[in-house]
Homo-oligomer: A and B are copies of this chain.
Amino acid sequence: MFEKLAVIGCGLMGGSFAMALRAAGRVQRVSGYSRSPASAQRAVELGIVDEAFDEPIDAVRGADLVLIAVPVGATQAALSALLPALSPQALVMDVGSTKRDVVAAALAAMGDRVAQFVPAHPIAGKATGGIEQAEATLYQGCTTILTPLAANPTEQVARAQAAWEAVGSRVVPMSAQAHDQTFAAVSHLPHLLAFAYMQGLMGQGPEALRQHLSVAGPGFRDFSRIAGSTSAIWRDIFSANRDEVLMQLTRFEASLAQFRQALTDGRDEDLARWVDEASAVRSRWPSLPD
């Protein structure tokens, strides 16, 4: 299907995509660039990438598929750097967790050639990133959101969809705005809450923190798992999707204020009803409410 994939950003997401596409027999060769040369070199050692380059422009020469897998704030610089060597037939995609800013960055960097760029967001990840964590199965069974541009030719969108399906993903189209609203709700806000929760524990001092963490169980483990992510990803996401995250935060605060008031007032019946309503929706998921 593809001759040569260029992975710009040799981390968990880019490395896993290369492994999966190769495992599916859909790509012949893979070139790689990473801001950290050690990551690109490691990708070669692991057999994920055939050849590593020091500059994006060299990695994309001859590529008919380019995957931008860098923090969203670095998208524009990456696209600008590779554009002079980009084949006019190549399909370019990203993996960013925000989409309106990525679309704006692509337009700024590529101008008319933005028609080659199909924004993508695979909903997959791990607690820790990096090329060492990459695996061919990362995208199997996951959902990938595509937010195609009006400028994208139909066949480019179809190629993008086929590539994500080849790595095992279900593809869902969405507008960039709907994407950013929805992911503020189901990903960005939960991350913000998990980080704030950990900071709330840490603010109780080292002795209390150690006591708390020493007996924390599976509830803590799952609830706070996403607080293990780092600013390498989250700084850009919070910055890019600030308004939607703040809007979701406002809704959460209003809901939490109701819980606080009922707790303070001893209105156990109200609390119980809200708990059971929430539980009914959550325990059915991934089935959707009627």
Chain A residues with CB under 8 Å of chain B are: 123-125, 127-128, 142-143, 145, 172, 174, 178, 182-183, 185-187, 189-204, 206, 208-231, 234-235, 238-239, 242, 245-246, 248-249, 251-256, 258-260, 263-264, 266, 268, 271-279, 281-283, 285-286, 288-289
Copies of this protein chain in the complex? 2
Closest chain B residue to A276, Cβ basis:
B231
Cβ-defined contact, B195 with A281, below 8 A: no
Cβ-defined contact, A145 with B255, below 8 A: no
Known A-B contacts A197-B193, A227-B279; A217 and B260 likewise in contact (beta carbons under 8 Å)? no
Closest chain B residue to A256, Cβ basis:
B196
Known A-B contacts A217-B125, A223-B190, A239-B266; A252 and B198 likewise in contact (beta carbons under 8 Å)? no
Kindly identify which residue among B192, B223, B256, B274 contacts A222, using a CB–CB cutoff of 8 Å.
B223
A124 to B281, CA, bound (A): 23
Known A-B contacts A182-B211, A190-B223; A274 and B239 likewise in contact (beta carbons under 8 Å)? no
Kindly identify which residue among B186, B196, B204, B216 contacts A259, using a CB–CB cutoff of 8 Å.
B196
A239 to B272, CA, bound (A): 10
Q: How far is the CB of A99 from chain B (nearest CB, A)?
A: 12
A203 to B189, CA, bound (A): 15
Cβ-defined contact, A255 with B200, below 8 A: yes
Cβ-defined contact, B220 with A190, below 8 A: yes
Taking CB atoms, residues of chain B closer than 8 Å to A219 are 125, 186-187, 190-191, 226
Known A-B contacts A255-B200, A275-B235; A127 and B206 likewise in contact (beta carbons under 8 Å)? no
Taking CB atoms, residues of chain B closer than 8 Å to A185 are 201, 204, 208, 212
Taking CB atoms, residues of chain B closer than 8 Å to A259 are 192, 195-196, 199
A213 to B223, CA, bound (A): 17
Cβ-defined contact, B272 with A231, below 8 A: yes
